[in-house]
Chains A and B, each alone.
Chain A
């Protein structure tokens, strides 16, 4: 195991002199300075920082000799460099040149695109530390901003080399002895999370979570508009859906305008984003669908893939136009204002309603959870062997409501109990989700096939889709059979006991 890369920096306010570093090291090593290089360095990561979270750092460097991708790992294993041309960001990992960098990155980034997270011009000076044989036993890199205005100050990085750990440790000791300090990397600013208490007014909790969703919408909008990857739209929709649920859950505590104006406004937004997301789901799902084919060939689905592409392009145009419209801009601005207003006057009164103590967050939480749970319990108990698909769909929605209630009020309920109920609920939601998705997909595939036949698609393509529909039938049957067990788990005594602790069973 090679020891980790060490990042060092001069003490704050002090500048770093190359000569003093060389001086400190040259008692022990022959220090060979490479030519100083100017580098344009773009750091890459996904929007949700998947590489960073996995201890990977990816850079796109332009140097005098060309462009390269440099992948380093926090655990100190060797840095991998590949030359590359014509890279454009954002891009999915699959668009990178084939090779070790792509192989290492792709499983981590998954469906998220790589984007430029910082773009800087730096001056890099590397030093090789050699032993008496002229063998390099460690490398030091001095990485300074090329212009004084840079936000990222000078850094010194010590790269250990495999099999020469002792030298790296010694060199690190020499550098710290010369006054360098371990680099304190500025952590990405964590979103300030106000502490919430059960007896705070419920509107405080509601405006906090709603504000969080609004922020998430804003963060995901640019990536959505530029079609960086599919997850921007997905996360945007999650924020919208959660907003709608919270408005519904919060009705007893929220002013009338939420119901009359904002619930419909967010319904509009939700509906607006549905068609593209549905098409995305099919596209992302294509490899899985291909795996289902037995008699048809995977290539028979090419026509379907093309059809999806064309439809998506058209639907995206509508979506983008709407999200660039004044209507949307106004919605966002005024919704922000509405939330600030609500936050500044938590003890609002609904006109015509008799003055009463405002609901506390804890009270509203247990009320919502208990109501949502009752609806799930009643709905689930009514499901029988021959209940129509619509009933299971209705139950799925109720489960979602309960799930959101548990999540929204998480800060003011018994955390451990909440987590465990969510665990049980997840299984049930999964079963219902598979049931419902199979139903919807079957119908959609039939619809697509009809559209494609009108366009004169070859029969093989339509037959392949027929096979998929058959498979979906089986999937749906399977999910239906798993329902009883999943529901029973949620209703077993120990779960009910947990619900009781959450105020859900009364």
Chain B
């Protein structure tokens, strides 16, 4: 089982859109895939038309009063399951804080379904929290969407240093440009000049495309409702770059 997380401290950068589309592509290839929506806003849950309701809420999940697989929901797509978020997830930090090994809890929970899935995606809320620390430990790969602006490069530096300083197994970081607009000079400059010798930067750039915003109305991955669109092709390319072998 390989775990990939879409992660960025900043909000609105394309974490959820990426997680939803890559998870869909992974499942379409025949990998048994799980997407865990960790964000109390439940955007990924909404996009798959699943109701944001988890039996017993975050507390029951984290303390294991309910097994993880009781909360799983099949999506409308073969091989793709969702672990939905609900509003109780806003307290997940507190719930985690009460447990033993509080920074490894989510990884531990995931290991209970390790035989059932080949690929797991974690869609993280935009924050630095105990949840995000758990995510760092549980993941093999952190996918970091970057809006091509100077500030976001700083955030990436901070994250890289944070991961490097943490103990135990560390995820690989793969950053990629998201919502890029080639018409904007700044975007072009940042993309063309970013140093390629440090943190891995994916070759694929996800441009800013209106059809990606349409996911909210269509409530489906863009790769499912517009498989031939440029957006879908970009996600396919990105997936080919980061796909676990």
Binding site for B on A (CB under 8 A): 1, 78-83, 99-101, 128, 133-136, 161-164
Contact = CB atoms under 8 A, between A and B. Distances in A.
A99 B50 CA distance: 28
A83 B30 CA distance: 8
B76 A128 contact: yes
Contacts of B79: 78, 80-81, 100
B30 A101 contact: yes
A466 B151 CA distance: 67
A134 B118 contact: no
Nearest to B80: A78
B86 interface: no
B219 A100 contact: no
A163 B51 contact: no
B31 A136 contact: no
Contacts of A100: 30-32, 79, 118
Q: Which secondary structure dominates where chain B touches chain A?
A: loop
B104 interface: no
- Size range of the chain B interface in the assembly: 10 to 19
B86 to A, nearest CB: 13
A59 B81 CA distance: 23
B72 interface: yes
B74 A99 contact: no
B73 A163 contact: yes
Contacts of B50: 135
B101 interface: no
A128 B48 CA distance: 15
A79 B78 contact: yes
B182 interface: no
Contacts of B48: 135
A95 to B, nearest CB: 17
Contacts of B29: 82, 99
21 contacts: A78-B32, A78-B74, A78-B78, A79-B78, A80-B78, A81-B79, A82-B30, A99-B30, A100-B30, A100-B31, A100-B32, A128-B76, A133-B49, A134-B49, A135-B48, A135-B51, A161-B73, A163-B71, A163-B73, A163-B74, A163-B81
B96 to A, nearest CB: 24
B26 to A, nearest CB: 11
Contacts of A161: 73-74
Interface string B24-58: 00000111100000000000000011110000000
Nearest to A133: B49
Given A100-B118, A162-B81, A136 B76 contact: yes
A80 B73 CA distance: 16
Interface string B65-103: 000010111101011010000000000000000000000
Given A78-B74, A135-B76, A162-B73, 5 more contacts: A78-B32, A100-B118, A134-B219, A135-B50, A136-B76
A99 B31 contact: yes
Nearest to A79: B78
Contacts of A136: 76
